[in-house]
Amino acid sequence: MRTIELTHPHTLVLEELPETVAAIGFFDGIHKGHQKVIQTAVSKAKDKKMESAVITFHPHPSVVLKKDAPHVRYITPLREKQEILQQLDVDRLYVITFNKELASLEPQQFIDHFIIGLKIKHLVAGFDFSYGHKGQGNMELIKEQTRGLFEYTTIRKVELDSEKISSSKIRELLQKGELEKANTLLGRPFTIQGVVIEGDQRGRTIGYPTANIRVNSDTLLPKVGVYAVKVLYKNEVYEGMANLGYNPTFTDEKTEPSVEVNILDYNNDLYGEVLYVEWHKFIREEEKFNGVQELVNHIKNDEKCVRSYFCS
């Protein structure tokens, strides 16, 4: 998959571009609803013998449109989004910089420049996709703006148990620690990636060595606590237990949670390696214990819970 970063105005030459079927949206999480949009575009591209594309935006519009917006964390940061889209057999990814210039474009200007101007011959979007200044363009009005140069398909709301599958719902579930429900909506385990860094090595002294994982600051993390996880490393999958939190038994000084993973039955050095961590089940809240032995007793019980979960 080829990734092409664009700003307004882009400088791509129309005559040099392939005829393309494109899915468009922000697609944070690439959940089951997003997958329906993307897979429809990929399928239509194959039928039409064209290239398939995804058109997405970065950063999130709230970064530009809301002055007091907090630091945005993504279910799928851009790198993870790229990896998932490649797995979905997308040929090219257009990443459009969302800035004030883009936000000020009238709907027809947006269509002319980023749809017609990219030689998109068929556009696929969700029913609630909007574009142009203040979101004035939508999939009900787009017919008036195609100039007869492309067709379009609108994907209806994708639901589970009569509720719309959405990124905001998945965020809510992650923040509650309801990983199994979140994973159902995603269609895969919620996954983060990061580099193993040197920690305080306290885990080794209590019989539970951990990989301390440095995660990018734009990655959304679930609720603080202990989890059953799987670790993907060099095409192998390992079961483990993760502590996401502040280590209150040993310090009161942490302001950001850390991710520490004890990989079951694995003791090799992983410093500097990139690990993918799949989050499967919330085990318990993080607690402050009265000393090391009480902590160890709880970790032993956590291990039993994790092994039991993966064996069931």
DSSP letter (8 states) at residue 119: T
How far apart are the C-alpha atoms of 244 and 254, rounded to whole Å? Answer: 12
Collapse the DSSP code of 170 into the 3-class scheme (helix H, G, I; strand E, B; otherwise coil) and give the result: helix
Separation of alpha carbons 249 and 242, rounded Å: 16
The confidence score (pLDDT) of residue 71 equals: 81
- Among candidates 71, 158, 70, 66, which has minimal Cα distance to 103? 66
Q: How far apart are CA 25 and CA 2, in angstroms?
A: 18
**Beta-carbon neighbour count of residue 303 at 10 Å?**
17
Q: What would the CATH number be for the domain defined by 166-311?
A: 2.40.30.30
pLDDT at res. 201: 65
Q: Percent of the chain beyond pLDDT 70? A: 96
User: Model confidence over 150-193: pLDDT tens digits?
Assistant: 999 999 999 999 999 999 999 999 999 999 999 999 999 999 99
Q: What pLDDT, in 10s, does the model give residues 270-309?
A: 999 999 999 999 999 999 888 888 999 999 999 999 999 9
Helix (H/G/I), strand (E/B), else coil: 48: helix
Instruction: Break the chain into its structural domains and give their ranges.
Output: 2-159, 166-311
CA distance 42 to 20: 10
3-state SS, residue 172: helix
CATH architecture of 2-159: 3-Layer(aba) Sandwich (3.40)
The predicted model scores a pTM of 0.94
215 close to 223: Cβ distance less than 8 angstroms: no
> Does residue 69 have a pLDDT over 90?
no
Decide if pLDDT at 312 tops 70.
yes
